[in-house]
Amino acid sequence: MTPLIEQYLDIKKQYKDSILFFRVGDFYEMFFQDAEVASKELDIVLTGKDCGTEERVPMAGIPFHSADSYISRLVAKGYKVAICEQMEDPKEAKGLVKRSVIKVITSGTIIDTAALDETSNNYLMSIYIDDGKYGLSSVDITTGELMATELASKEDLLNELIKFKPVEIITNKPEELESLLNYGSFVHKWDFFDYNIARDEIIRKFNVNSLEGLGLKYYERATRAIGALFMYIKATQMVASDNISEIKLYTISDYMIMDKNTINNLELLETYRSKEKKGSLLWVINKTSTPMGSRLIKKWLERPLLNIDEINKRLDAVEELVNNDEMREKLKACLKKIRDFERIMGRIVYKSANGRDLLFFNSSIVNLPEIKNIIQNAESDYLKELFNEIDPLEDVSSLIDSAISYDAPMTINDGNIIKDGYNEEVDKYRKASTEGKNWLAQLESEEREKTGIKNLKIKFNKVFGYYIEVTKSNIDMVPDYFIRKQTLANCERYVTEKLKEIENDILGAEEKVKELEYQLFVEIREKVAQQYKRVKASAEAIAQIDVLTSMAEVAKTNGYQRPILVEEKVIDIKVGRHPVIEKISDDIFVPNDTYMDTKEHMISLITGPNMAGKSTYMRQIALIVILAQMGSFVPADSAKIGIVDRIYTRIGATDDLSTGQSTFMVEMNEVANIVNNATDKSLIILDEVGRGTSTYDGISIAWAVVEYIAKKIKARTLFATHYHELVDIADELKCVKNYNIAVKEEDDKVVFLRKIMEGPTDKSYGIQVAKLAGLPETIIKKANQKLVELEKKHIYQKDSVEPIKQISIFDIGFDFKYYDLIEEIKSLDIDNMTPLQAINQLYKLKRALCD
């Protein structure tokens, strides 16, 4: 094998699970299997290379200057890419050029901002699994945000995965995660979750005496997860994760819990079916101006608060910005000028920022003093706090402004980065090289005169440096002191002693200035990098100001009002609207009131034909609660919201056929999850539950679920159904109230009034709706006939015992002690009982029933 391939194989050994980008001159080359994979995934030509072996080695290459886009494509497909560079100048190397890997890029550690969506965080998550419990830590290395928590169940883990959507996960037990992962995360096994190493690393990094100060003392699993992240970052970036300035330790009970179904069903971030942003709640409320703000508003939306003081703190700030038009508009105008300096800071810290990045960074931070100025007289505590947290970073800004040239190139070792006047030596070298150009021009005209060769030219190329070119026709006029270097078809090239001298001066100066500029740039970048804590504080403050301003703007333009948060378990909304439907529907939106508590108005049973507006009404209540608890104004004239700890939603099978799952089973699983986890502070929305099976089954299940919620959970619940048979449940349970959504019958058509009314509906109007939808007249006629027939039969059946039998268990009161009784009977081992034992058992059962 050739030495080059031997060197390659040697390095590749250490990066078996990565695609190795092996720098050779102006290319990154890939060999063997890497070449085959890259050729397929990147659509590049697969060639071969003679390597001293019998067969040519498969090879594929890409030019180094366009590597970024190829790398991000591979990374997006889940590959790791190891970047191997030449560590010395090939011109000066004796023998084989030294090479080594300078970083490994993975989907969770990529810091190339062009490859990332600026409105979302890019999380790398570390999950330490031990005995069914989880230590969880998530980091966005581009912004330096690090969070950690511990979880006790798989459900909780799932809910966190939904929120973070980590692009990459490292874990000690990948096999335990597989069933959970259809979120597009790439899972790698990682072995370094050692507690002592983690503890020492964290203590060293945050410069503390013990874990206690960081709140981590009793979080062993979380500590291991954090330690593993730091090690993984070091192993891939080859530098320490220096932009991480704090660990945000949280518990999931700080926030309202919403599971995947709820986030999806309520269309918080994207629409249910088409997965588009337009039509989601985020789409309506996100009027942020900066990437930091757009990332934060998503987090706030996914994590509504439970603490009334914290919510009011946000609401006070929003209210101030709603009322103070001048402050809001000035903020908005200034925020628009601020770009993603939080992420650029990541590139600065990880030493991959160039001169333009620094300029870009500066163009954002120069606006900080103005933002500070705008809110200096703010009255709300929150804005005052943010005023104090913004660091204007004027020193950093003026350093960049004085040092970095406005037209700095993308590269950092080709010069032209440092501004004139920043450094004397740079200025001196630059003068030499510009003067050198004058010397050349002078020499050219001198030589023309001396030799009489009118078209004699001084030119430059990379191989020969400067030379004098004389066309063939003038060769006989060339003097002795011209030294011939090269003969071409129609000209000859020469050098002279004098030319060589000038060349040395110019090239020497150019080389030196490039090297000096590079050194200066790295120093400046390092100086900026050291300010990461201050920059992070400002970036976070800007994100919050941006979100508050956005909430105020949305409240103002859409006519939202400030909600009142209370501990008491009520929901009292006047003139409430659906924030999204009112924006996208062509019809005028009809607002509705809502009153719920955990006593007489615990369960609202909403009947009404399809298309009446049941789903819309229920979602509107959930969305108003979520908005209120995230600290936003709400689409209603007034809203009193008793803190909700969890929102559950379940959409009946036929309403989400598009997912194509075995719907009834899925539906029942979800209902089970709801009834097992909801509390008396929760809000439950059941939309057409029980539809996935036959009518009587469906009615029975729906009935039983409502009863269970009423008796056991006592959660505020909205239940929509087109089974009008269910309305009878209100006669039995005081806490169930019947509502219907009004429709008017005109001739034999229905008109939807969209108004929620007390009391049940008596009809389902299915056929009228079908008619509205344009079904042929013959079908409508036949359906009407059939309906009359069926209704007759139904009345008959109501009197017989048949259908009643199916719901008989609920008729006997459905008290839960019967379940125990039934279980007890089932477990009796009658074959092995004496007659006396059997009779005793019978007495016991009778007593249990009659007490």
Binding-site residue numbers for ATP are 608-615
Contact 374, 327 (CB under 8 A): yes
Number of residues located near ligand ADP, criterion CB under 6 A: 14
Q: State yes or no: residue 611 binds ligand ADP (CB under 6 A).
A: yes
Task: Report the side by side order of strands in the sheet with 491-495.
Answer: 457-461, 465-471, 491-495, 483-487
Taking CB atoms, the residue at the shortest distance from Mg ion is 615
Least Cα distance to 252 among 180, 322, 329, 306 occurs for 306
Contact 237, 348 (CB under 8 A): no
Looking at residue 377, its amino acid is: N
CB of 614 to Mg ion, least distance (A): 5
Toward ligand ADP, which CB reaches closer, 225 or 634?
634
Q: State yes or no: residue 24 binds ligand ADP (CB under 6 A).
A: no
Answer with the entry of ligand ADP, Mg ion, none that 616 interacts with (C-beta below 5 to 8 A by kind). ligand ADP
Least Cα distance to 537 among 341, 714, 402, 706 occurs for 341
Least Cα distance to 593 among 739, 455, 697 occurs for 739
Q: Which SS3 state, helix, strand or coil, does residue 569 take? A: coil
Tell me how far apart the alpha carbons of residues 98 and 537 are, in angstroms, rounded to a whole number. Answer: 41
User: What is the per-residue binding string for ligand ADP in 546-585, x denoting contact by CB under 6 A?
Assistant: -----------------------------------x---x
Give me 497's structure tokens.
């002693």
Contact 166, 125 (CB under 8 A): yes
Beta strands 27-31 and 186-189 are unpaired
CB of 623 to Mg ion, least distance (A): 15
Q: State yes or no: residue 610 binds ligand ADP (CB under 6 A).
A: yes
Whose tokens are 């066309």? That residue is 471
Tell me how far apart the alpha carbons of residues 738 and 683 are, in angstroms, rounded to a whole number. Answer: 17
Tell me how far apart the alpha carbons of residues 270 and 287 are, in angstroms, rounded to a whole number. Answer: 16
Give me 153's structure tokens.
């169940």
Number of residues located near Mg ion, criterion CB under 5 A: 1
Q: Which residues define the annotated binding site?
A: 608-615
User: What is the per-residue binding string for ligand ADP in 97-126, x denoting contact by CB under 6 A?
Assistant: ------------------------------
In this chain, which of 106, 265, 380, 616 binds ligand ADP, going by CB under 6 A? 616
Taking CB atoms, the residue at the shortest distance from ligand ADP is 613
Toward ligand ADP, which CB reaches closer, 581 or 643?
581
Toward Mg ion, which CB reaches closer, 243 or 615?
615
Answer with the entry of Mg ion, ligand ADP, none that 413 interacts with (C-beta below 5 to 8 A by kind). none
Answer with the entry of ligand ADP, Mg ion, none that 392 interacts with (C-beta below 5 to 8 A by kind). none
Answer with the entry of ligand ADP, Mg ion, none that 851 interacts with (C-beta below 5 to 8 A by kind). none
Whose tokens are 């057409």? That residue is 688
CB of 591 to ligand ADP, least distance (A): 7
In this chain, which of 5, 495, 554, 612 binds ligand ADP, going by CB under 6 A? 612
CB of 277 to ligand ADP, least distance (A): 19
Tell me how far apart the alpha carbons of residues 700 and 808 are, in angstroms, rounded to a whole number. Answer: 9
CB of 691 to ligand ADP, least distance (A): 12
Toward ligand ADP, which CB reaches closer, 238 or 611?
611
Answer with the entry of ligand ADP, Mg ion, none that 612 interacts with (C-beta below 5 to 8 A by kind). ligand ADP
Q: What residues contact residue 366 under an 8 Å CB cut-off, 6+ apart?
A: 397, 401
Q: What residues contact residue 586 under an 8 Å CB cut-off, 6+ apart?
A: none
Least Cα distance to 129 among 166, 147, 156, 165 occurs for 156
Cβ-based neighbour number of residue 656 at 10 Å? 22
CA 784 to chain centre: 51
Residues β-bridged to residue 418: 404
Q: Up-side HSE of residue 739: CA atoms within 13 Å toward CB?
A: 27
Contact 544, 386 (CB under 8 A): yes
CA 802 to chain centre: 54
Q: State yes or no: residue 265 binds Mg ion (CB under 5 A).
A: no
Answer with the entry of ligand ADP, Mg ion, none that 567 interacts with (C-beta below 5 to 8 A by kind). none
CB of 648 to ligand ADP, least distance (A): 18
CB of 716 to Mg ion, least distance (A): 19
Toward ligand ADP, which CB reaches closer, 567 or 587?
587
Q: State yes or no: residue 396 binds ligand ADP (CB under 6 A).
A: no
Q: What residues contact residue 623 under an 8 Å CB cut-off, 6+ apart?
A: 266, 281, 578, 579, 580
Identify which range of 12-20, 259-267, 365-373, 603-611 contacts ligand ADP by CB under 6 A.
603-611
Q: How many residues does the chain have?
A: 851
Tell me how far apart the alpha carbons of residues 233 and 135 are, in angstroms, rounded to a whole number. Answer: 18
Residues β-bridged to residue 145: 140
CB of 589 to ligand ADP, least distance (A): 4
Toward ligand ADP, which CB reaches closer, 298 or 619?
619
Phi-psi region of 828 (alpha: psi -120 to 50; beta: other; left: phi over 0): beta
The footprint of Mg ion on residues 592-651 (CB under 5 A) is: 615
Please give the angle made by the CA atoms of 643, 121 and 371, to the nearest 5 degrees: 80
Answer with the entry of ligand ADP, Mg ion, none that 137 interacts with (C-beta below 5 to 8 A by kind). none
Contact 684, 718 (CB under 8 A): yes
Tell me how far apart the alpha carbons of residues 710 and 699 are, in angstroms, rounded to a whole number. Answer: 16
Least Cα distance to 595 among 615, 630, 568, 631 occurs for 568
Toward ligand ADP, which CB reaches closer, 107 or 615?
615
Answer with the entry of Mg ion, ligand ADP, none that 581 interacts with (C-beta below 5 to 8 A by kind). ligand ADP
CB of 684 to ligand ADP, least distance (A): 17
Toward ligand ADP, which CB reaches closer, 496 or 615?
615
Answer with the entry of ligand ADP, Mg ion, none that 613 interacts with (C-beta below 5 to 8 A by kind). ligand ADP
Answer with the entry of Mg ion, ligand ADP, none that 754 interacts with (C-beta below 5 to 8 A by kind). ligand ADP
Toward Mg ion, which CB reaches closer, 97 or 671?
671
In this chain, which of 193, 300, 589, 696 binds ligand ADP, going by CB under 6 A? 589
Report how far apart, in Å, the C-alpha atoms of 658 and of each of 180, 195, 216, 356, 649 are: 21, 46, 45, 47, 17
Toward ligand ADP, which CB reaches closer, 35 or 743?
743
Toward Mg ion, which CB reaches closer, 172 or 615?
615
CB of 664 to ligand ADP, least distance (A): 19
Identify which range of 597-605, 608-616, 667-675, 690-698 contacts ligand ADP by CB under 6 A.
608-616
CB of 576 to ligand ADP, least distance (A): 9
Q: Alpha-carbon Rg of the chain, whole angstroms?
A: 36
Toward Mg ion, which CB reaches closer, 150 or 656?
656
The footprint of ligand ADP on residues 749-768 (CB under 6 A) is: 754
Alpha helices in 57-153, H assignment, sequence order: 67-76
CB of 610 to ligand ADP, least distance (A): 4
Answer with the entry of ligand ADP, Mg ion, none that 243 interacts with (C-beta below 5 to 8 A by kind). none
Least Cα distance to 693 among 728, 666, 730, 660 occurs for 666
Rounded to 10 deg, the angle between the 817-827 and 835-850 helix axes is 170
Q: Give kind and range of the element (H or E) at residue 451.
A: helix 424-451
Toward Mg ion, which CB reaches closer, 346 or 652?
652
In this chain, which of 131, 587, 823, 829 binds ligand ADP, going by CB under 6 A? 587
In this chain, which of 613, 652, 690, 698 binds ligand ADP, going by CB under 6 A? 613
Residues in contact with Mg ion by the rule CB under 5 A: 615
Residues in contact with ligand ADP by the rule CB under 6 A: 581, 585, 587, 589-590, 608, 610-616, 754
